[in-house]
Amino acid sequence: MVRRRSGGGRVTQADVARLAGVSQTVVSMVLNGTGITQHRVGDDTRRRVLDAIERTGYVANPIAQRLAGGNSALVGVYTYEPVFPSSAGDFYQPFLEGVEREAQQRGVDLVLFTSMSAHHGGPLVDGGALHRLRVADGCVLLGRHSHAQDLVALASQDFPYAFVGRRAAPGVTVPFAGADYDEATAVVTRQLLELGHRRIGMVSVTPPHESIEDRVRGYRRAMRAAGQLPVTFEDPDLTSGEFFGTLAEHGMTAVLTVSDLAHDVYSAALARGLRVPEDLSIARLGDPEQREPSVVDWAGFTIPRIEMGAEALRIVLRQLSASDPHGDEPDQDLQAFIPCETFTGSTIAAPPTATTRSTTKETSHT
Amino acid sequence: MVRRRSGGGRVTQADVARLAGVSQTVVSMVLNGTGITQHRVGDDTRRRVLDAIERTGYVANPIAQRLAGGNSALVGVYTYEPVFPSSAGDFYQPFLEGVEREAQQRGVDLVLFTSMSAHHGGPLVDGGALHRLRVADGCVLLGRHSHAQDLVALASQDFPYAFVGRRAAPGVTVPFAGADYDEATAVVTRQLLELGHRRIGMVSVTPPHESIEDRVRGYRRAMRAAGQLPVTFEDPDLTSGEFFGTLAEHGMTAVLTVSDLAHDVYSAALARGLRVPEDLSIARLGDPEQREPSVVDWAGFTIPRIEMGAEALRIVLRQLSASDPHGDEPDQDLQAFIPCETFTGSTIAAPPTATTRSTTKETSHT
DNA sequence: CTGAAAGCGCTTACAG
DNA sequence: CTGAAAGCGCTTACAG
């Protein structure tokens, strides 16, 4: 390897150009795919340049590339909380696994915006944080929370980004890679309906979040399609007898529950002397972070976290390549819904009355 | 907020300067601590500049800063394997937690070099990978492996870096934040000696690694100081009776074991009908990744992973600030040994013979 | 097909 | 105390 400069100095395009006997511009053209196409550097010249690159061990300076208007192959990752403490890490880990896998495949490096995580869940727009994102070519954002102000600020920036998980704000199109909670919840609801359940409740939480809204919508859609009345319980008090009392009053034989409350609903049901699924079917709408495997064999669906992360990065990269041939970006490519996998676990079964009745009927026929 | 440019265009120093009625240089000086000291911008001018910055919401472009020779507040993190798959993640997580915590405190962002992790444990020098590190101001490196070629290549680069875990290669001073395995192992060895053990073995693994060497050195030091002969077993075959046979032959009543083999040694001992610690004391030299809590109450020490990560980042940052006032960097600041915490668990006790003998003696005296 | 030139947004000598 | 200028290493029109 011929090193043009000693010490820490890197080899530059100028060095390569000198060695190849061409101008620095040509070196840049040989390196950039678009330039090649447009300017068609001669085969002979290209060979000389390539050879010089080989001999010098030249590697482009991403910083300079970026400043000059090109891409640095640096994609940001903004998390609303620190990533690595295992507490929060358990939440971020699978998403980031997807982002990382995709980043590696696409040959980009990731910038973790740790410096501004001080907010700890607060909105990103506070401070000059938003500007800092531009160190990278684009940015993947993730967190449990959803700050409308960030969505609006980001949308007015002309900077490629994508959320992991659906985000929405009035008047703006927010790019995201979300899970198809709507459809998954509908599928699970239909499963219960097919098992014979008619009155099916849904346990939800406040404050409202896009991911919760999606589940509620899917639930309502499936219930209405079956001619049943959807009934949602928000943040029910599971310790008092009220919740299960209401369930009984309405003759509900099954409940869907958001994942955060699944365990509590299950335990509370057992504590009330209810057998699951004999007396009450419970389906879990999403799996929690996979640290300690649940002893319960849940029916419901899982969240495609890894794929969500990977797709979010792809959406950012897509915007990057789309902005080259300055056309109007098709919005539909900016939003992706990844399907969830549904499971028929052992927490759901045919409703007690239906079973009794059908059994009775069949018996009488025999 | 007065935005000089609309759309995605950022506010630049030139914009601020125009608004403040000064030159762009002055804006830069006001912003840079060193410039202020040297050039002493007038109080009145500074106020006008600061005011303009406030009004425009100006935030420095780190890319330009870096290209111009300044620092970008971007520190790289190179891991020899992908970070986020939970398999490898369990190894990296605590170290990175420390790096992240420190990064947040110091206001720097982290660049994860995912693009070149394709090597999967292989040396970093392959390909132009090493050059790519320069996107950041400096870099923290971590991984299970130790590649001498990387150490040499890095050392000749004049680029700030630090390893998590001690690294050494002939002829070069490698900056690192390591655990003081040497001293910790010596302490544990002394504990056993004080309990009455004389013949103490050490179980180790190949290939040699700095962290293993340190433990062996500490063990040997403590043994020699006590006038005992150190005996190490490398990759012993625990399934055949050989290992425990040799232990018995030499009259060994205690063994130290590197953490990776701790569980195997323990199980194998039990399988041989040995009681721990009654028949054999076993001390573990370091705790494995903390995922599933061990049922065994191990004696030995823990690895200060979080602190190691934090210190590694500090070492990088120290080199950064040291390179400003171009003096010779004192090497001693580049290498840190973090103390380990030792535990007296229930896997060690006084040796069987010693107990018997002392009991006998005392009884005879009564 | 190839080169000279401008410019990205900064920092840092170097002059006033 | 302040400004004009060069330069960091690239990309990308713009001329030949």
Task: Quick: pLDDT tens for B301-351.
Answer: 999 999 999 999 999 999 887 655 444 455 558 999 999 999 999 999 999
Written as six digits, the tokens of A131 are 């500007």
Nearest-by-Cβ selection for B109 from A86, A113, A131: A113
Q: Give the Å distances, CA to CA, from A220 to A36, A281, B150, B178, B318.
A: 55, 18, 59, 57, 59
Looking at residues A44-63, what average pLDDT do you find?
84
- Whole-number mean pLDDT of chain A? 85
> What pLDDT band is residue B174 in, cutting at 50, 70 and 90?
very high
pLDDT for A6 equals 35
pLDDT for B25 equals 86
Residue A281 pairs in a beta bridge with: A254
Task: State the Cα–Cα distance between residues B78 and B180, nearest whole angstrom.
Answer: 23
Q: Give the Å distances, CA to CA, from B58 to A121, B17, B22, B52.
A: 24, 11, 15, 8
Q: Which residue of B has its CA nearest to A126?
A: B57
CB contact under 8 A, A109 and B104: no
CB contact under 8 A, A10 and B131: yes
- Quickly tell me which residue has 């009775």 as its tokens: A360
Fold held by B181-302+343-361: Rossmann fold (3.40.50)
Task: Quick: pLDDT tens for B186-211.
Answer: 999 999 999 999 999 999 998 889 99
Fold held by A181-302+343-362: Rossmann fold (3.40.50)
pLDDT for B275 equals 94
Question: What is the phi/psi pair of residue B142, to 5°?
Answer: -150, 155
Reply yes or no on whether the pLDDT at A254 is more than 60. yes
Question: Where do the CATH 3.40.50.2300 domains begin and end in chain A?
Answer: 74-179+307-341, 181-302+343-362
> What pLDDT band is residue B353 in, cutting at 50, 70 and 90?
low
pLDDT for B2 equals 37
Nearest-by-Cβ selection for A104 from B93, B96, B117: B117
Question: What is the phi/psi pair of residue A198, to 5°?
Answer: -120, -50
Q: Which residue of B has its CA nearest to A66?
A: B63
Reply yes or no on whether the pLDDT at A13 is more than 70. yes
Q: Give the Å distances, CA to CA, from A272 to A89, A162, A269.
A: 35, 44, 5
Fold held by A74-179+307-341: Rossmann fold (3.40.50)
Task: Quick: pLDDT tens for B103-112.
Answer: 999 889 999 9
pLDDT for B127 equals 60
Task: State the Cα–Cα distance between residues A356 and B244, nearest whole angstrom.
Answer: 64
CATH class of B74-179+307-340: alpha beta
Q: Which residues of B touch A128 (CB under 8 A)?
A: 57-59
Fold held by B13-60: 434 Repressor (Amino-terminal Domain) (1.10.260)
Task: State the Cα–Cα distance between residues A19 and A29, nearest whole angstrom.
Answer: 16
Residue A152 carries which side chain, given as an amino acid letter? V
Task: State the Cα–Cα distance between residues A349 and A277, nearest whole angstrom.
Answer: 6
Question: Where do the CATH 3.40.50.2300 domains begin and end in chain B?
Answer: 74-179+307-340, 181-302+343-361
A95, A110 in Cβ contact below 8 A?
no
Q: Which residues of B touch A93 (CB under 8 A)?
A: 84, 86, 89
* CA A357 to centroid of chain Cα atoms: 44
pLDDT for A352 equals 87
For residues B91 and A332, the model is more confident at: B91
- Which among A123, A75, A68, A65 has a CA at the least distance from the CA of A96? A75
Question: Where do the CATH 1.10.260.40 domains begin and end in chain B?
Answer: 13-60
DSSP character at residue B119: G
For residues A332 and B265, the model is more confident at: B265
**Would you call A340 exposed, middle or buried from its count of C-beta atoms within 10 A (0-12, 13-18, 19+)?**
buried
Task: Quick: pLDDT tens for B234-265.
Answer: 999 998 888 999 999 999 999 999 999 999 99
For residues A364 and B196, the model is more confident at: B196
Reply yes or no on whether the pLDDT at B224 is more than 90. yes
Task: Quick: pLDDT tens for B123-167.
Answer: 777 666 777 888 888 999 998 888 888 899 888 877 899 999 999
Non-local (6+) Cβ contacts of A253 within 8 A are A197, A198, A199, A200, A280, A281, A351, A352, A353, A354
A67, B67 in Cβ contact below 8 A?
yes
pLDDT for B359 equals 39
SS in 3 state form for A288-355?
CCCCCCCCCCCEEEECCHHHHHHHHHHHHHHHHHHCCCCCCCCHHHHEEEECCEEECCCCCCCCHHHH
CA at A68, C1' at C8: how many angstroms apart? 5
Reply yes or no on whether the pLDDT at B362 is more than 80. no
Written as six digits, the tokens of A310 are 């990977």
For nucleotide C9, give the residue with the nearest CA to its C1': B64
